[in-house]
């Protein structure tokens, strides 16, 4: 989780990722951020996020992202 937050912070240093739960709905992350994030997650956690998982529910908060990563890791 710490590592994920670091990745997020490197994208937007000025955003409070611990508490924000509307990263997509409030347009804080745009599509370029999202694909950067997916690439970083792939590097850091060795988890491939398929295109169908790129939906607002999975990207709205750091928590949701973390849950998705764990789910994908298990499956």
Partner 1 sequence: MSFASAQFLAFFAVLFVLYYLIPRRHQWKLLLVGSVFFYFFAGWYCLVYIGVTAVTTWLAARKIGALQARQDAWLRERREELNKEARKARKAADKKVRWRWALGSMLLNFGILAVVKYTDFVLGSVNGVLSAAGAGTQLPLANLVLPMGISFYTFQSMGYLIDVYWGKYPPERSLGRFALFVTFFPQLIQGPISRYNDLSQTLYAEHRWDSRQIAMGGMRALWGLGKKLIIADRLAIPLRELTAAPEEYAGLYVLAVMFLYAVQLYADFTGGIDITIGVAQMLGVKVTENFERPFFSKNIAEYWRRWHITMGTWFRDYVFYPLSVSKGVLKLHQKARARLGEAGKRVSVYLCTMILWFVTGLWHGASWNFIVWGLLNGVVILVSQECEPLYARFHGRFPGLKGTFGYRLFEVGRTFVLMSAIRVLDVYRDVPLTFRQVGTVFTSFRPSVLWDGSFLELGLSAGDWLIAALGAAALVVCSLLGRREPVRQRLVRRPSLAWGGCAALVVCMVIFGVYGIGFDATQFIYNQF
Residue with smaller CB distance to partner 1, 42 or 70 = 42
Interface characters, 4-43, with partner 1 (x: CB under 8 A): -----------------------x--xxx-xxx-xxx-xx
CA distance 59 to 56: 5
Instruction: Name every residue whose Cβ is closer than 8 Å to that of residue 9 and which is 6 or more positions away in sequence.
Output: 15, 17
Find the binder of partner 1 among 2, 16, 19, 52 (CB under 8 A).
52
Instruction: Tell which phi-psi region holds residue 46, choosing left (phi > 0), alpha (psi between -120 and 50) or beta.
Output: left
Residues that bind partner 1 (CB under 8 A): 27, 30-32, 34-36, 38-40, 42-43, 48-52, 54, 75
């Amino acid at each position: 989780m710490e590592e994920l937050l670091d990745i997020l912070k490197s994208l937007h240093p000025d955003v409070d990722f611990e508490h924000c739960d509307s990263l997509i709905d409030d347009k804080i992350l745009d599509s370029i951020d999202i694909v950067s994030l997916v690439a970083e997650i792939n590097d850091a956690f060795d988890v491939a996020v398929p295109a169908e998982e790129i939906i607002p529910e999975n990207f709205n908060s750091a928590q949701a992202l973390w849950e998705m990563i764990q789910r994908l890791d298990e499956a």
